[in-house]
Amino acid sequence: MRAFMMTSAVVALIACGPGEAQNNGNQAPGGGSKEQSQPRRAGSAAPGAPVETGPKSVPEFQPAFAGQTRAPAVKTRTPLQVTQVAGGLNKPWAIAFLADGRMLVTEKPGRLRIVTSQGQKSAPVSGLPRVDARGQGGLLDVELGPDFGRSGQIYWTYYEPRQGGNGLAVARGRLVDGAQPRVENVQVVFRMLPTLESTLHAGGRMVWAPDGKLFVMLGERSILPGRVQAQTLGSHFGKIVRINPDGSVPRDNPFVGRRGARPEIWSSGHRNILSAALDGQGRLWEVEMGPRGGDELNRPERGKDYGWPAIGYGEEYSGAPIHRTTQARGMEQPVYYWDPVISPSGMAIYSGSLFPEWRGNVFVGGLSSKALVRLVMQGDRVAGEERLLTDRNARIREVVQGPDGALYLLTDAENGSLLKITPRR
Ligand SMILES: [Ca+2]
């Protein structure tokens, strides 16, 4: 990687935004201060320049280490072919592949469909429970159960309408395929607690770990009475939880037996997580929606606290401060952060054979950034960043790797699309 042949001083300077040069004792050769007063535009980037060259939302916050934000821009060499597999999907949210190449696709208002690789959509799968589809709610993620081949069980997340509000729920049921597909024997296996009236930030992504446990990404409900619970182990808000396939609590979870703690909790201090994936070592990674200037890439480890709302790199969308500081003892630093934000949703860590140059790269869907964000990793740090599909003006909600090694995406719109990325031939 060219980026890693640069000196750390240059990387540190690149990582800074306008107005941060005085506190940086390192001087880059070739007039680094000029770069700060005149951000380079995309297309005229010098070696080592980041993808993002616009002003920071929160210029007073500095990265904790070189390369924690604004990694050098990189470019995919393989020419890309983007194909629309299916259109006419209403706010599609998630894709799960069946063994025969068809896909389960959720639509946020509450429908689940089976879509063929040729783009034919089934009638909505019947038998799903009612969802609260207001705001960021609705029917969200879908995954096959770990024993799908035998049980036919699928899992999905949704905002569950409840007495006194709502909350994220994980349900499972047996998929009965056919012209009028349905789910049978539906059971709710997890309920985020407490119930709160909010249409925001309940998270919703699920990831099956190699050991058969299910990680569920949760949010802190956005409104203040919810937000403050991200640091409280008695609440599921702002947590990642880890459960057995039937919803029971694994005995080796970090807070089992701690008085007042909810035993499903794996990690705490998260804001809202709509992006999560396993890497090639089977480790969980997530990208979380930060406040203005504070989207984060994290690798959540058991029992650790990721800081929200005590520390972070962002501010309120009003411009009001949230954090006095970006670092605190006992709280983890993000591996990477984005200021301005990308609004992450959907994540895949590439392991296919269609794009050898992409192996081990992290792909994140961007809503407000209207891009597919690609990160090149070096160890557990980010060494390069690329924004793909920026010419399509589409909010990217979901990204998954198909069994064929192509990337499959969903665009977030009432007339949303299922897209496929392959090498151009
Ligand atoms: Ca954090």
Domains observed in the chain: 90-334 (2.120.10.30)
For residues 95 and 400, the answer to whether their CB atoms sit within 8 Å is yes
Which one-letter amino acid corresponds to residue 248? S
Q: How far is the CA of 334 from the centre of ligand 1 (A)?
A: 6
Concatenating the DSSP letter of every residue in 241-300 gives EEE-TTSPPPTT-TTTT-TT--TTEEEB----EEEEEE-TTS-EEEEE--SBT-EEEE--
- Angstrom CA distances, 408 to 125, 364, 375, 378, 414, stand at 21, 12, 17, 25, 18
- Angstrom CA distances, 339 to 44, 244, 365, 376, 404, stand at 21, 36, 16, 18, 34
- Who surrounds ion ligand 1 at CB < 5 A? 306-307
Q: How far is the CA of 132 from the centre of ligand 1 (A)?
A: 28
Q: Which residues pair with 409 in a beta bridge?
A: 399, 419
Q: What is the three-class DSSP state of 332?
A: coil
Which residues lie closer than 8 Å to 188 by C-beta, 6 or more apart? Answer: 129, 160, 169, 170, 171, 247
pLDDT at 45: 58
This prediction has a pTM of 0.89
Q: Does a cis peptide bond (omega within 30 degrees of 0) precede residue 161?
A: no
Residue 270 known to be catalytic? no
- Residue 14 gets which letter from DSSP? H
Task: Tell me which residue of 242, 245, 194 sits closest to 220, measured CA to CA.
Answer: 194
Question: From first to last of its 425 residues, what are the pLDDT tens digits of the chain?
Answer: 323 333 333 333 333 333 333 333 333 333 333 333 334 444 455 778 999 999 999 999 999 999 999 999 999 999 999 999 999 999 999 999 999 999 999 999 999 999 999 999 999 999 999 999 999 999 999 999 999 999 999 999 999 999 999 999 999 999 999 989 999 999 999 999 999 999 999 999 999 999 999 999 999 999 999 999 999 999 999 999 999 999 999 999 999 999 999 999 999 999 999 999 999 999 999 999 999 999 999 999 999 999 999 999 999 999 999 999 999 999 999 999 999 999 999 999 999 999 999 999 999 999 999 999 999 999 999 999 999 999 999 999 999 999 999 999 999 999 999 999 999 98
Task: Tell me which residue of 393, 394, 390 sits closest to 412, measured CA to CA.
Answer: 394
Enumerate helices (H) and strands (E) in the chain, giving the number of each: 4, 23
- Considering 201, 236, 270, 323, which one is annotated as catalytic? 201
Q: How far is the CA of 308 from the centre of ligand 1 (A)?
A: 5
- Angstrom CA distances, 120 to 102, 117, 213, 217, 272, stand at 9, 8, 33, 30, 33
Instruction: Extract the runs of DSSP E, i.e. beta strands, from 211-281.
Output: 214-217, 240-243, 265-267, 273-278
pLDDT at 126: 98
The tokens describing 69, both together, are: 């934000």
For residues 400 and 349, the answer to whether their CB atoms sit within 8 Å is no
Q: How far is the CA of 212 from the centre of ligand 1 (A)?
A: 27
Q: How far is the CA of 311 from the centre of ligand 1 (A)?
A: 6
Task: Tell me which residue of 360, 356, 337 sits closest to 283, measured CA to CA.
Answer: 360
Task: Tell me which residue of 336, 290, 292, 337 sits closest to 315, measured CA to CA.
Answer: 292
Q: What is the three-class DSSP state of 400?
A: strand
End-to-end CA distance of the chain: 27
Question: How many residues comprise the chain?
Answer: 425
For residues 256 and 263, the answer to whether their CB atoms sit within 8 Å is yes
Cα 63 from Cα 17, distance rounded (Å):
10
Query: What does the angle CA 282 – CA 335 – CA 353 come to, to the nearest 5 degrees?
Result: 45
Q: How far is the CA of 112 from the centre of ligand 1 (A)?
A: 33
Q: How far is the CA of 303 from the centre of ligand 1 (A)?
A: 14
Q: What is the three-class DSSP state of 381?
A: strand
Residue with tokens 């959540």: 300
Task: Tell me which residue of 105, 168, 130 sits closest to 420, measured CA to CA.
Answer: 105
For residues 85 and 420, the answer to whether their CB atoms sit within 8 Å is yes
Task: Tell me which residue of 203, 76, 74, 75 sits closest to 141, measured CA to CA.
Answer: 203
Cα 359 from Cα 351, distance rounded (Å):
5
The tokens describing 211, both together, are: 């050991």
How many Cβ atoms from other residues are within 10 Å of residue 9's Cβ?
16
Radius of gyration of the chain (CA): 21
Q: How far is the CA of 94 from the centre of ligand 1 (A)?
A: 25
How many Cβ atoms from other residues are within 10 Å of residue 36's Cβ?
16
